[in-house]
Structure 1
C-alpha cells in the first residue's frame, strides 16, 4: 500500500504563479493520481477543478501537520510555493516523516526568479526569508554594496521593511518590489527605502535590495565595539571579548552556555559567528536578562535563549553545551558542577578579575591543565595637558577542555 512505512505516499509539489502551465510532468502525474490534495487557498485556486478531495492548509502552519499525517495510506499531494526547500514548507513537513515516505518536485524558486529579473548573480546575493521573522535579522548584512533578496509576508511588510532600512541609516538603498513572479500578474517596480510609497503591492512579494547609505556597519570579526551593546557596566569589553571568543572557538552547529551573561555580548558574538550556532545565556538579574534579550534582537540573533536563573542551580535542564563561558558567578561549586555533569571534550573558558577568582582559576589550572592567560590592557588618557597610559584591571583567563 502507498502509505506503508518506507513508501512515498506524500508528493510535495512546488507551484508558481503560472499555475498548471509551470508544473513538471511528474507534478502533473502526481496530481492526476492524488486522492487528497492540500495547500494554501491561493495555490488550490491556481489549479483547475480536481477530481479528488481537497483541503485548505490552515493557519498557523503547524496546525496542518496532524491532518496531513492522518492521510497516511492514501496518495497525497501537498502544494507549496516554488521550491519547497528554500525558505519553504518542505522541511517543516518532512521532519515528521521517514525519508522514503515522501518525494518532491520543486518549481523555480522566488529567489531564482528575482535574480533572473534583476540580473543578479544569486551566489553573491543574501537570500533571506522574513515571512514571520523580524527585520533585525538583516542587521548583520547591512553595508553599502550588499545585495539581498528578501521574502516578506505582504505589501504592508514591504513598507515596514523600507522604514526599517531608513531608521538604520540606509534610506538610500534601492528597492525592487517583485510581485507575483512567474505569473500573468507579475510586476516589478523600483524605488528607494526613503521614498517607498506604493500602496497597492500584491502578494506574493519579494524585495530586491541594493544596500546604500551612511548607517553603522557591524564588523564581521569578533570583538565588535562596545557601543553595539546596551549595558550597565556588566560587559566583557571589546579586546577581552575578542580574546575570549578566540578561546571559545565557535564552530558550526555548536551550542554555548554563557553563564552570568550581563549584556549578552559573548553569547551574541558567538551567534554572529555562524548561522547554525546556538547559545543559552544564564542571568539571574531580570533587568540584565531583558537587556541581553534586547541586544540579541537588535543585532539580528533573536535565537538567543535566556534562562533567568543562578548557576549551577539553573543549569540542569537546558541541552548540554559544546562550550561554556563563565563571565559572572565563578565559584568552586560551579566548576565542580560543570566538571561532574558535562560531556568530555566540552570547552570551558572563565575570566577572573578579583584575587579570589584568580586563585580559584590558578588552582583549577594546576589540577586540570589547560591554558592560563593574564591580560593586561592600557589605553591613552589625559594627564593634565599631556597624555599617558591608563591601566585597566588585569584579567586572568583560564581555558580548558573536560
Structure 2
C-alpha cells in the first residue's frame, strides 16, 4: 500500500502523460483541493475527497482504513513547496511515489527567459509578503492568492525597490494564461483588482545592491544601539549559523545580528527580544527592508516563547539579574551562547560565567582612521569582550 502523488497543471488532464492518466484511472480514492479535483475528467472514477482545513491532521491519517494505494492530486511539482515533500517527511520515501508535472517555477522562467539555476524560489503560500523582499537578483515568487502581487509591490516600493521589474503570470500553462508586467512602483500605484488566485511572480530586484556579510552600519535604521560592522562579523563567526537554525537575539537594539543571521544560510530564522518599543519598531522596519524571517518580541526573559533556539546572542541587558542564566537554561545540549560586553559591570558577569562554564573568552579592540588637524590619526572604538560557549 502506497501513497501516489500526482502533479497536475492548469491545463488539466490534457497536460498529463499517458502513464499518469492511467495511474489516475486505476485510483479508488483521490485527495486534493477543490480546484485540483475539478481538473479531473470522467476517466477518473475514483471517490474525490477535498482536503479539510487545516490539512495536516488529514495527511497523518491518509492511510487509515485504506484497502489499496491512496492517490493525491497536487499542483505542478508536488516536491516544490508542495504536499509531496510533506508526505515523504511523514511516511518516508519508500511509502510515497511522486509523479511530478512541470513546475510553475520552470514555466515562469521559460516565459521570461531566465535560467532556473540562476533564479531564487520564494514561497508566500504560508510566509508573510515581506519575506520576498530582496536587495538584488531575480526570483520566482509563489503567491498565496490574488492579493500577493500588490502586497509585494508596495513593500518593494516602500523599501526603495520601486524600480524592480514585476511580471505576474496567471493560470500558467492553462488556456487562460495571462502575463502582466510593470515596475513595482507602477503596480503598487494601480494594482489590478482581477488578479487570478493561481499566480506566480517573476521579480528582478532593482537596484541591485546585494552584499554578503557583514553589512555597513548605515544599511540599518538605528539609534546608535547596534553591533557595529567589524564586531558583527566576529560575532556571527562565533555564533556559527547553520541552515535552518533558530537564533534568539536578546537585547536586539536594531536587529542587526538577527538579520545577518537570517541572511547567512538557507532557512535561518530568528527571534529578536527588545525591551524598548521604539527600538522594536526599528527592528520591524529593518526586518521588512531585508526580507528576513525575524519575530520581534518584548523584554527578555519575560518574553521567551516555547521555541528551542540553536543559538542565543546576548548583546544587551547582560547585567540584568538572571538573564544570562535564563538564556543558558533554554539552550539544548550542543546549543551555542555568545555574549558581548562593553562595560566593566557586564565584563564582570561574563568573567563569572567563563570561570563556571569555560568556553572561549576574547577581547576585541579596533580603531578608525580620522583627521587630526592636517594629519591622520587613530580613534579607538569601545573594546568588546566576547564570551562564547557550547552547552554540554
TM range (shorter): 0.7 to 0.9
For residues 143-222 of structure 1, the aligned pairs below 5 Å read 143=136, 146-196=137-187, 200-213=194-207, 217=209, 219-222=211-214
TM-score, scaled relative to structure 2: 0.82
User: Which stretch shows the higher mean deviation, 188-197 or 80-89?
Assistant: 188-197
Q: SS at the partner of 1:46?
A: coil
Q: Deviations over 1:344-399 (max 9, x none)?
A: 54433221111122234345545655443332344466778987654433222223
Q: SS at the partner of 1:48?
A: coil
Root-mean-square deviation (CA), in Å? 3.4
Match of 1:33 among 26, 29, 33: 26
Cα distance between partner residues in 2 of 1:194 and 1:147:
17
Q: Deviations over 1:102-130 (max 9, x none)?
A: 32211110111122233321101112222
Question: What is residue 266 of structure 1 aligned with on the other side?
Answer: 257
Question: What is residue 237 of structure 2 aligned with on the other side?
Answer: 246
For residues 35-184 of structure 1, the aligned pairs below 5 Å read 35-49=28-42, 50-59=44-53, 61-62=55-56, 65=59, 68=62, 72-139=66-133, 141-143=134-136, 146-184=137-175
Question: What is residue 311 of structure 2 aligned with on the other side?
Answer: 323
Question: What is residue 13 of structure 2 aligned with on the other side?
Answer: 20
Cα distance between partner residues in 2 of 1:289 and 1:191:
34
Cα distance between partner residues in 2 of 1:308 and 1:330:
16
Q: Deviations over 1:45-90 (max 9, x none)?
A: 2221342321233455547546746564454322111001112232
In structure 2, relative to structure 1, the CA distance for the partners of 1:344 and 1:84 (3 Å cut) is closer
Q: Contact 2:132/2:152 (CA < 8 Å) preserved in 1?
A: no
Cα distance between partner residues in 1 of 2:92 and 2:22:
23
Q: SS at the partner of 2:38?
A: helix
Cα distance between partner residues in 2 of 1:62 and 1:347:
32
Cα distance between partner residues in 2 of 1:174 and 1:318:
38
Cα distance between partner residues in 1 of 2:388 and 2:61:
50
Q: Contact 1:33/1:75 (CA < 8 Å) preserved in 2?
A: no
In structure 2, relative to structure 1, the CA distance for the partners of 1:112 and 1:336 (3 Å cut) is closer
Q: Deviations over 1:187-246 (max 9, x none)?
A: 334433344455544342222223334x7x353212x23344444543222222122112
Cα distance between partner residues in 1 of 2:46 and 2:278:
56
Q: SS at the partner of 2:91?
A: coil
Cα distance between partner residues in 2 of 1:286 and 1:199:
36
Cα distance between partner residues in 2 of 1:193 and 1:278:
26
Cα distance between partner residues in 2 of 1:268 and 1:165:
18
Instruction: Please state how far the C-alpha of 1:297 moved relative to its aligned partner.
Output: 4.0
Instruction: Please state how far the C-alpha of 1:273 moved relative to its aligned partner.
Output: 0.6
1:11 lines up with 2:11 in the alignment: no
* Unmatched runs of 5 consecutive residues or more in structure 1: 1-6
In structure 2, relative to structure 1, the CA distance for the partners of 1:353 and 1:192 (3 Å cut) is closer
Q: Contact 1:36/1:74 (CA < 8 Å) preserved in 2?
A: no
* Unmatched runs of 5 consecutive residues or more in structure 2: none
Cα distance between partner residues in 2 of 1:249 and 1:379:
27
Q: Matched residue pairs, number? A: 386
User: Which stretch shows the higher mean deviation, 286-295 or 75-84?
Assistant: 286-295
Q: Contact 2:80/2:103 (CA < 8 Å) preserved in 1?
A: yes
In structure 2, relative to structure 1, the CA distance for the partners of 1:352 and 1:230 (3 Å cut) is same
For residues 304-383 of structure 1, the aligned pairs below 5 Å read 304-306=294-296, 308=298, 310-311=300-301, 317-319=306-308, 321-330=309-318, 342=331, 345-365=334-354, 369-379=358-368
In structure 2, relative to structure 1, the CA distance for the partners of 1:190 and 1:234 (3 Å cut) is closer
